Amino acid sequence: MTPTPAVESGARSHTLVPVESVAQISSILRDADPTLDPRLAALARQAAADGTVLLRNDGVLPFGPDSRVAVFGRVQIDWFAVGYGSGGDVKVPYVWNLLAGLRDAGVRIDDEVAETYARWTAAHRPASSDVWGRWPHHLPEMPIDDAFATAAAGRNDVALLVVGRAAGEARDSVLEPGSYYITAAETELLDRVTAAFERTVVVVDAGNVMDLGWLARYGDRIAGVVYAWQGGMEGARAVAAVLAGEIAPTGRLTDTIAAAYEDYPSAGHFGDADATVYAEDVFVGYRYFETFAPERVLFPFGFGLDYAEFEQTVIRATTGADRIELEVEVANIGAVHSGRQTVQAYVSKPGTTLAQAARELAGFAKTSLLAPGERERVSIAIDLADLASYDDDGSTGQRSCWVLEPGEYRFFVGTDVRRAVPAASLTRDTLRVVRRVREAAAVDPTTPFRRMIVQRGADGGALVGWEDVPVATVDRRERVLGDLPAAIPLTGDRGIVLESVAAGTASLDEFVAQLAVDELALLSRGDLTMDSPLGTPGNAGVLGGISESLRAKGVRPVTATDGPSGIRLSAFASLIPSGTALASTWDPGLVRELAALHGQEMVRKGSDVLLSPGMNIHRNPLCGRNFEYFSEDPLLTGRMAVAVVAGVQSQGVAACPKHFAANNQEESRTRNDSRVSERALREIYLRGFELCVREARPMAIMTSYNKVNGVWSHYHHDLVTTVLRHEWGYDGCVITDWWMESAVDPDFPALEDNAYRVRAQVDVLMPGGVKTEDGPEAYADDTIQDSIARVDGLTLGELQRGARNVLRLVLSLAPVIDARTGEGSGAAR
């Protein structure tokens, strides 16, 4: 989303109130946000803690009551609570930093070091970060000398050194010191601190994966490593609670951390301004590393250490023709610490014809908090149909089908992808067709490429091979014409209001039949600008009842607000953990509970539609918005998205998953073409969305800015109509990301811009204005009305179909409390 000055009122544009104690929060909230639910803050803290990943520990953690700790690094004070852009710019009433959090947790902090950093950071405030997309990736470090480090080592047992990174919307990480790599100043700090202290703990405060290859340089002098994913307003306090042992570390990585950037399979195909070739195909993240390069992994997918000591035992593996169920007993065999364990199940598929990764995540479950000596059994049920692969070239004899190939399916259970051990297997004698679908969104024949496959060496080992990617064969014009809906005969205004549809005394079609073409066109766009006067101040945009005539018929304005990490309005609102932090909990139940409280806050603040969750795959560690997204794995992504959507919508408001689809870099995001095989698109980049749609039924979905195989997603009939609506059965409202690129339908020249979009069943242009070479403009074009009268133009039935999708959203929303008046508002607002 692109900002406008009217809504640049988020976390980067107002003075944050630093918190130094729990007692201080009450007075802050009294002055800033008395509506903040303490349950929401408490659960956000728990989620941030549960998403914190312990990567290394030689026994230095948790800090004991007698531990004396010197904290180094300016990020202890200037904590990165969230990434940049619409997904993070929340007007938050307070943010903890790590220094205050450690004191709150009772850790004995070296006051002399802390006060030195406090004075220096106060005198060296970060440069202004108000320019959209030009925020700093890091903050310059305070220099120290050997004498300072040595003196601190004489007073303390251990050093805690904090490194911080940020990226965000329109701001990818870059292969430079201060972004993906550490800086010379940070290296100097590490050198001096590790030379003076026998043991150092490093905390990485970030939203993206950064290079950790430098850890090897320091050997066992770095005794502990904690990856603290950006956890929102309570995040630093949560990390401190983990360091102090108040909360057990239970986070697990949702991405692979490789030895070097060049090891990632997408490294050679990221950041191009015009097109991104997804040459690695289905071998994304751990799928690549576990198949081809396990030796190039520093920390594997699913990895995370505990303070407690656990033992896992597969008690029972029950296999059937359509399902396998694994029952696993987890025992805390330690004597001191409580903890929670995540049981992860992986599958190895036969790969008889289709190229398959060595392992894929098939299911997971998390225990409750187990005290020493306690044990618990968890079950992981896996439907074999969910393990099907997509044949996009016909090599199995079943092109455009989801299939289970014949051969052995081996299942592994463990604490991460690398340490999972054999648990069960089953063998299929024949090919099973799970689903027959239609080719959709395949590679444009004019832009072919070669994709990664598995070849076998002389020893049977997996080697990287390449093959030509299958290209599209469908006659799009014929397909679109076959999908055109019949029109509802116009009746003129019969006095039917939308409340009558809600009450069941009139049908939705009867209501729609009253609407003139101009009213239908109004329903297909928002109220032109962000911060619409029809919605709560600071809104991202308003759709629905944007005209007096529609409001007179009972169609109320619907307020949409940014984001995954909080509600972005002019008012104060909570800043909750980032998407990666939430996914790192591997706890959908916790995430759903937090999302439900977030939905309640939406009701209090006057938000109808939250533009959340972000669901794009972590294809490459440099993608600036990875902090908003969940994982490199589509199953984990889907499960977390289901939790967020179900939680938010349990409160009568809407969630809007985004960005549909293949939005995996910020560089030239509105122009870039994601060139991806149909198989990889379906198995990796769409699978999470499919799980979310089928299981949580989001009321709205947002398209992405980028092209997918040559077609902008906001015009993509194959994505939105063929796959989303026909295959998945989605009948909700599809909206654009904010503004869209101008284009003419190549198969129907009478359609351009908004008419082209409506034909694809992208229902609403948001925020509604027109994008020009000089920037967004607050006026509506006439492409819809002009197209209606032309040969091969937009039909009345298509406009009415889109209107029904929008009106179903309006009907699904609970009455909203106006944050300014405290009065309820129903469908007629």
The CA distance from 807 to 360, in Å, is 40
Using CA atoms in the order 790, 795, 800, 806, what is the torsion angle rounded to 10 degrees?
Answer: -70
825: CB partners within 8 A, 6+ apart = 556, 815, 816, 817, 818
481: CB partners within 8 A, 6+ apart = none
* Residues pairing with 453 in the sheet: 465
Q: Are the beta carbons of 189 and 72 closer than 8 angstroms?
A: yes
| Axis-axis angle for helices 588-605, 38-50 (nearest 10) | 150
Q: Are the beta carbons of 477 and 747 closer than 8 angstroms?
A: yes
Residues 419, 590, 577, 618, CA torsion sign: positive
End-to-end Cα distance, the chain: 27
CA distances, 672 to each of 486, 624, 712, 752 (Å): 35, 15, 9, 20
Q: Which of 252, 230, 228 lies closest to 240, judged by CA?
A: 228
The radius of gyration of the chain from alpha carbons, rounded to an integer in Å, stands at 27
Q: Which of 187, 136, 140, 135 lies closest to 161, judged by CA?
A: 187
The CA distance from 72 to 56, in Å, is 19
HSE-up of 540 (CA within 13 Å, CB side)? 29
Q: Which of 325, 309, 323 lies closest to 249, judged by CA?
A: 309
Give the H/E segment covering residue 326.
strand 323-332
HSE-up of 68 (CA within 13 Å, CB side)? 11
Residue that is written with structure tokens 């809906």 in the block: 485
Q: Which of 581, 550, 504 lies closest to 205, judged by CA?
A: 581
The CA distance from 779 to 777, in Å, is 6
Amino acid at 187: T
654: CB partners within 8 A, 6+ apart = 608, 609, 610, 648, 698, 699, 700, 809, 812, 813
Amino acid at 311: E
The CA distance from 622 to 265, in Å, is 13
Residue that is written with structure tokens 């014929």 in the block: 478
Alpha helices of 197-293 — where are they, by DSSP H?
A: 215-218, 235-244, 286-292
Residue 792 annotated among the catalytic residues of the structure:
no
789: CB partners within 8 A, 6+ apart = none
Catalytic residue among 737, 753, 763, 781: 737
The CA distance from 762 to 682, in Å, is 20
Residue that is written with structure tokens 């033992």 in the block: 311
The CA distance from 426 to 420, in Å, is 17
Burial of 207 (0-12, 13-18, 19+ CB in 10 A): buried
The CA distance from 238 to 459, in Å, is 49
Q: Are the beta carbons of 723 and 661 closer than 8 angstroms?
A: no
Percentages (nearest 5) of helix, strand, coil residues in the chain: 30, 25, 50
Residue that is written with structure tokens 């990895």 in the block: 303
Q: Are the beta carbons of 377 and 649 closer than 8 angstroms?
A: no
The CA distance from 387 to 391, in Å, is 13
Measured in whole angstroms, how far is the alpha carbon of residue 284 from the centre of its chain?
16
Q: How is residue 315 written in tokens?
A: 């008690």
- By annotation, the residues acting in catalysis are 737
